[in-house]
Chain A
Amino acid sequence: MTDMTASGASAPVRKHATSLLAQDARTKRRNAAETRFKIYGLIAVGIGLTFLAVLLSSIVYNGVRGFQQTFVTLEVELLAAKLDKKGERNIDDIKKVSTFGYAPLIDTAMQNAVAKIGYDSPFEKAKEYRPLLSASVPAQVRNYVIANPDMIGETVEFRVLAASRVDGYLKGRVTRDSIARDKNIDAAHLDITDALHDEGVLKKTFNWDFVTGADASESRAEQAGIGVSMIGSFFMMLVVLGLSLPIGVAASIYLEEFAPQNRFTDLIEVNISNLAAVPSIVFGILGLAMFIQFAHLPQSAPLVGGLVLTLMTLPTIIISTRASLKAVPPSIRDAALGVGASKMQTVFHHVLPLAAPGILTGTIIGLAQALGETAPLLLIGMVGFIASNYPEGLVDGFVSPNSAMPAQIFEWAKRADPAYYERAWAGIIILLLFLVTMNAIAIILRRRFERRW
């Protein structure tokens, strides 16, 4: 009581006893504080979940458009006079006609298409229709003609890409206001676009070329696809799987089953736990200095990317493998040793098979991490160029320059044309689909094979 009086008037002094059922001011305050605290926690969880929802919905909302592309159905007359002047259908002569030779045919075809739907066009020259179509169209028609020289002279129906801005107009990315100062396209072009769209000549459909295709130059956003970099990622994952699984499992077996307690093992353990926390960009520096500057491995090659990611993934795999080795009860080891197996036989014949599902789960999760990693790939040169060629073979796939999915997304995000942004988002959807699949497999494996001893 002396303390209370000393602390002054703030201390509550009960004049007369109250009922237990009626809360006094202090209890009310405490209960209110309790409720507040609980609400703070709820709000925190709510904010976390909201962020997740916003993130995912913004990915889906922005990315879905990237899978759609505007195509124009065009009847191109393959004029023999332009494409094969000699008329001999000699393939070498036909190849001599460059894409510039094809462009006028396509302009005319576009003019005809507009005339056919009865639209009163303000343009008089065929050339003025060019901004409606992708710059890739002449090459597409040329490839077709080289493959089918017999069709010269006929009129062939093509499904060709519309220009990126026309596509953007239909998707709402490009508006009439935003093209006011755009020298590539006029409002008149957009009027034609509307008319063609109403008639069904110009259609927005699902674009498989985005999933399977190669990257395109900066000015041809409509043509770019993620297929080639997907293959780059695939080869990288092969390297990561092929190196980090055996090395990681071997290292874990040694540390868990054989290693004596000494300085050397301690050193390894400290190193592994530190490597797990080293920023990924530092691994990129290591890759650049060791693999490219020192060992002169080819720059931008999936092999180098795979090596760097292997070093990054190793700690993850080692940690999870050790956990699943530890989960195998000692009675299994004792039984095997008891019937005369050597230590090595015990581990490889009994412990390792029992730990395999856990190891596999850890490996898949490690691979999923590696698949989404970008920063180290930037340093070993997997960005800044156009990944436009499919690898020609197995060896080529490992050593020839390629991009990887996350690097490709970064590359697109950096480009100036906003048309690339929706491709970046769409690329993220594909990347996340891979990650979700991998994690789902890991979870199923764990559920299916997990053993409680």
Chain B
Amino acid sequence: MPLHWLVLIVLTLGAVGYIVGRRRAMKSAGGDARFLHSLPAYYGTNVLLVTVVPAILLLIVWLLVQPLVINNQVTGTIPDESIPEGGSLGLVMSDVRRVAEGLDTAIDAGAMSREEAASIRTEVTDVRQRLAEVGVALGSNVRPEVLRAAQQYRSLDATGDLAMTVALLVLALAGFGYGVLRTTKDFRARNVVEKGILALLIGAASIAILTTIGIVLSLIFNTVEFFGLYPAWDFFLGTTWAPSFSGRGGASELGVLPLLWGTLYISIIALLVAVPIGLFAAVYLSEYASPAVRSVAKPLIEILAGIPTIVYGLFALLTVGPLLVDVFGAGGIFGLGWMKGGTAVMTAGLVMGIMLIPFVSSLSDDIINAVPQAMRDGSLGLGATQSETVRQVILPAALPGIVGAVLLAASRAIGETMIVVLGAGAAARLSLNPFEAMTTVTAKIVSQLTGDADFASPEALVAFALGMTLFVITLGLNVLALYIVRKYREQYE
């Protein structure tokens, strides 16, 4: 049974449960709601919750566990000698899954009967040919053990789906029955329902933790697998980034240093653009500007923060890059010939700097405004000019907060993807020339994972190690920034 029908049935059962529960409660009270412990709606809700919630939870758990179990079962049937030279069990399993899906497609298209799909043999039929007829392209001929594993996979999958449907419906009905039977006029429905809802609220709040766990687990597992295939030492200290495109073998050099350098260089340029402009803008808007100017200029600058990064990426690629080439390129205004192509560290850094201006300015603005007025008045009263007050009183007082803001901006810059994918180029190199194309950690995560390479190869897995590096760096910066900002806030509040 398709999943959405199953969910719909459970929900309908829940809705029916609501009505039945309410009716039964009213009936047990002789039709007078005053004799009930709780309001009638709570009795209905109680039945609804016990019907739907356990069933849906079971569904989620089942959907997560079933593929694992089936994978394990099928993996056990594949003999070691059928794993080809240089391949891995994961590769064979992905073949198995592809064949299984192909058989499904063939049945859907009517090109194959169910029985045929379950009994077809490579020795007799050209399975690849048959599947190609319905539009499933397989990379190589189907080996007999793979086909058998695929057939077992399908049969296990079908059994699992059937078992799930039955279990789900039984659980929902059991919940329904239990809920209805429990409904009498003395049943403390409200307390039970409220406890249930509180549990749901706690569950929702825990999703933040689950997400973090999910991120960490998906990074760690794949990173560990990567370090099994490629020495960690070479990854962290290698100065060459040259993944082989064929996908296999040890020909790839995957040193992270050139990528880190590119990331750092672009971030530094971005901060060199964003910090002075953002800081001066914040000082001007909070200390000098009239309310009218402030109410116009501040939201306008903040628009820059609301523009999606893909827009900045395109701006870098198609506007800023060619513009910089016109100025610094070979045939440029100054005839310098520094820049060979539009994609360069400078392009990406400049555009990223524009993007970061509102981050720095609005965070600094908040912090400058939080400096007590008394400190300003004291300084001005001693005869300092406004700029002296800003430089010698306000900025030192606001410094920790501003440092925090800059760190947050830096973490943004390091994690930014679209601008560098489009604007910085693809060549990984260790160079000091800001007009050369370089690449970053994020850009390489994208390029390593969007190609056709299979997920078991070091060339794809390296992306998870890069992601781990990125995650650790940005997390460190964020924690440091929040710590500094919080510590500062405590001083004045």
Q: Which residues of A contact B (CB under 8 A)?
A: 30-31, 33-34, 36-38, 40-45, 47-49, 51-52, 54-55, 58-59, 62, 246-248, 250-251, 253-255, 258-259, 267-268, 271-275, 277-283, 285-286, 288-290, 293-296, 311, 314-315, 318, 342-344, 368, 371-375, 378-379, 381, 383-384, 395, 406, 409-410, 413, 421, 424-425, 428, 431-432, 435, 439
Q: List 23 A-B contacts (CB under 8 A).
A: A33-B388, A37-B387, A48-B361, A250-B204, A268-B208, A275-B211, A277-B408, A279-B414, A279-B470, A282-B215, A282-B219, A289-B222, A289-B464, A290-B218, A311-B211, A314-B208, A342-B190, A378-B450, A395-B2, A413-B422, A431-B310, A431-B311, A435-B306
Q: From known contacts A55-B315, A280-B415, A281-B445, infer whether A47 and B218 are also in contact, taking CB-CB under 8 Å.
A: no
| Residue of B with least CB distance to A371 | B308
A250 contact set on B, CB distance < 8 A: 200-201, 203-205
Contact A48 B277 (CB under 8 A): yes
* Shortest 5 CB-CB contacts between residues of A and residues of B: A279-B415, A41-B284, A372-B308, A289-B218, A44-B280
How far, in whole Å, are A37 and B283 apart by their CA atoms in the complex?
10
Closest to A381 in B: B450
Query: Nearest-CB distance from B444 to chain A (Å)?
Result: 11
- The total of chain B residues at the interface (CB under 8 A) is 93
Q: Could you give, for residues 1-34 of chain B, a 1 whenever the CB lies within 8 Å of some chain A CB and a 0 otherwise? A: 0101000000000000000000000000000000
Instruction: Tell whether B319 is near chain A: CB-to-CB under 8 Å.
Output: yes
Say yes or no: is B475 at the interface (Cβ < 8 Å to chain A): yes
Contact between chains at A368 and B285 (CB < 8 Å): no
Docked CA distance A250–B449 (Å): 35
Residues of B within 8 A of A294 (CB): 64, 67, 218
Q: Which residues of A contact B408 (CB under 8 A)?
A: 277
Q: Considering the chains assembled together, what is the distance between the CA atoms of A424 and B287 in angstroms?
A: 41
Known contacts: A253-B201, A254-B202, A258-B201. The answer to whether A406 contacts B212 by CB under 8 A is no
Q: Cβ of B301: which chain A residues have Cβ within 8 Å of it?
A: 45, 48-49, 52
Chain B 299-329: CB-based contact to A (< 8 A → 1; otherwise 0): 0110110111111111101110000000000
Bound CA span A342–B2, Å = 41
- Picked from B2, B211, B300, the residue with its CB within 8 Å of the CB of A52 is B300
User: What is the CB-to-nearest-CB distance from B103 to chain A, in angstroms, rounded to a whole number?
Assistant: 16
B198 at the interface (CB under 8 A from A): yes
User: Nearest Cβ distance between residue B276 and chain A, in whole angstroms?
Assistant: 7
Across-interface contacts of A375 in B (CB, < 8 A): 309, 417-418, 421, 442, 446
Give the CA-CA distance A388 to B477 in the complex, in Å: 42
Residue of B276, B307, B479 contacting most chain A CB atoms (<10 Å)? B307
Q: Is residue B63 within 8 Å, beta carbon to beta carbon, of the partner chain?
A: yes
Q: Is B197 an interface residue (CB 8 A)?
A: yes
Contacts of B204 in A (CB 8 A): 246-248, 250-251, 254
Within 8 A of A (CB), among B141-177: none
User: Do B281 and A255 touch across chains, with their CB atoms under 8 A apart?
Assistant: no
CA A37 – CA B284 in complex, angstroms? 9
Q: Is the CB of A255 within 8 A of B67?
A: no
Most buried by B among A47, A281, A296, A378: A281
> CA–CA, A39 to B218, complex, Å?
51
Given A38-B387, A44-B276, answer yes or no on A295-B307 (Cβ-Cβ < 8 Å).
Answer: no
Query: Is A314 a contact partner of B284 (Cβ separation < 8 A)?
Result: no
| Chain B contacts for A381, CB-based, 8 A | 450
Q: Give the CA-CA distance A378 to B288 in the complex, in Å.
A: 44
For A372, list chain B residues within 8 Å (CB). 307-311
- Distance between Cα atoms of A37 and B311 in the complex (Å): 33
Give Cα distance in the complex from A118 to B210, angstroms.
Answer: 73
Cβ-defined partner of A40 (8 Å) among B209, B280, B304, B417: B280
**Residue among B206, B208, B318 facing the most chain A CB atoms (10 A cut-off):** B208
Q: Whole-angstrom distance from the CB of A34 to the nearest CB of chain B? A: 4
Chain B residues within an 8 Å CB radius of A271: 208-209, 211-212
Give the docked Cα–Cα distance between A280 and B215 (Å).
Answer: 12
Taking a contact as CB atoms under 8 Å apart, the answer to whether B201 and A58 are in contact is no
What would 9 more interface pairs be, CB under 8 Å, given A41-B287, A279-B415, A410-B310? A42-B284, A51-B354, A52-B303, A58-B315, A251-B207, A253-B201, A258-B198, A318-B208, A413-B317
Residues of A within 8 A of B414 (CB): 279
A373 to B311, CA, bound (A): 10
* Contact (A278, B201) CB under 8 Å given A41-B280, A268-B209, A379-B449: no
Report the bound CA distance from A290 to B205 in whole Å: 20
A34 to B297, CA, bound (A): 22
A282 engages B388 (CB within 8 Å): no
Contacting A277 at CB < 8 Å: which of B194, B289, B421, B478? Answer: B478
Residues of A within 8 A of B358 (CB): 48
Q: Do B354 and A379 touch across chains, with their CB atoms under 8 A apart?
A: no
Taking CB atoms, residues of chain B closer than 8 Å to A425 are: 314, 318
Cβ contact within 8 Å between A431 and B201: no
The residue on A at minimum CB distance from B38 is A342
Min Cβ gap A395→B in Å is 6
Q: State A413–B63 Cα separation when bound (angstroms).
A: 38
Tell me how far the C-beta of A176 lies from the nearest C-beta in chain B, rounded to whole angstroms. Answer: 20
A428 → chain B, closest Cβ, in Å? 5
Q: B297–A49 contact, CB under 8 A?
A: yes
Name B218's closest neighbour in chain A (CB-CB): A289
Q: Which residues from chain B contact A286 at a C-beta distance below 8 Å?
A: 211, 214-215, 218
CA distance A363 to B221 in the complex (A): 33
Contacts of B470 in A (CB 8 A): 279, 281-282
Contacts of A379 in B (CB 8 A): 445-446, 449-450
Report B-chain residues with C-beta under 8 Å of the C-beta of A251: 201, 204-205, 207-208
CB distance from A414 to the nearest CB of B (A): 8
Q: Kindly state whether residue B367 has any CB partner on chain A within 8 Å.
A: no
Q: How far is the CA of A378 from the CA of B361 in the complex (A)?
A: 30
A255 — which chain B residues lie within 8 A by C-beta? 205
Is B438 in the interface zone, CB < 8 Å from A? no
**B386 interface contact, C-beta 8 A:** yes
The answer to the question of B347 belonging to the interface, with a C-beta cut-off of 8 Å to chain A, is no
Question: Cβ of B201 and Cβ of A45 under 8 Å apart?
Answer: no
In the bound complex, CA of A272 to CA of B210 (Å): 11
Between A246, A282, A289, A425, the greatest number of chain B beta carbons within 10 A of the residue's beta carbon is seen for: A282
Say yes or no: A344 contacts B198, CB within 8 Å.
yes
Q: State A325–B421 Cα separation when bound (angstroms).
A: 40
Q: Closest CB-CB distance, B383 to chain A, in whole Å?
A: 10
Contacts of B288 in A (CB 8 A): 38, 41-42
**B91 → chain A, closest Cβ, in Å?**
13
Find out whether the CB atom of A282 lies under 8 angstroms from the CB atom of B361: no
Interface residue? B482 (CB, 8 A)? yes
**CA–CA, A254 and B205, complex, Å:** 7
Complex interface bits, B432-455 against A, C-beta within 8 A gives 1, otherwise 0: 000000000010011001100001
B34 to chain A, nearest CB (A): 15
Report yes or no: A279 in contact with B64, Cβ–Cβ below 8 A. no
Q: Which chain B residues border A410 with CB–CB below 8 Å? A: 310, 313, 418, 421-422
Q: How far is the CA of A285 from the CA of B357 in the complex (A)?
A: 28
A293 closest partner in B (C-beta): B455
B442 near A41: Cβ-Cβ < 8 Å: no
Query: Distance in Å from the Cβ of A14 to the closest Cβ of chain B?
Result: 16
Q: Are A33 and B385 in contact (CB under 8 A)?
A: yes
A278 and B474 contact, CB distance less than 8 A: yes
Chain A residues in 8 Å Cβ range of B200? 250
Are B209 and A267 neighbours in the complex by a CB distance under 8 Å? Answer: yes
Chain B residues within 8 Å of A290, by CB? 214, 218
Does B428 sit within 8 A of A, measured CB to CB?
no
Which of B203, B315, B411, B455: most chain A CB closer than 10 A?
B315
Interface contact B300-A49, CB-CB below 8 Å: yes
Alpha-carbon separation in the docked complex, A311 to B204 (Å):
12
Residues of A near B442 (CB, < 8 A) are 279, 281, 375
The smallest C-beta distance from A409 to any residue of chain B, in angstroms, reads 6
> CA separation between A31 and B416, bound complex, in Å?
42
Contact A52 B304 (CB under 8 A): yes
- Chain B residues lying within 8 Å of A272, measured Cβ to Cβ, are 208
Question: Are B280 and A282 in contact, CB atoms less than 8 angstroms apart?
Answer: no
Interface pair B467/A281, CB less than 8 Å apart: yes
Contact A34 B307 (CB under 8 A): no
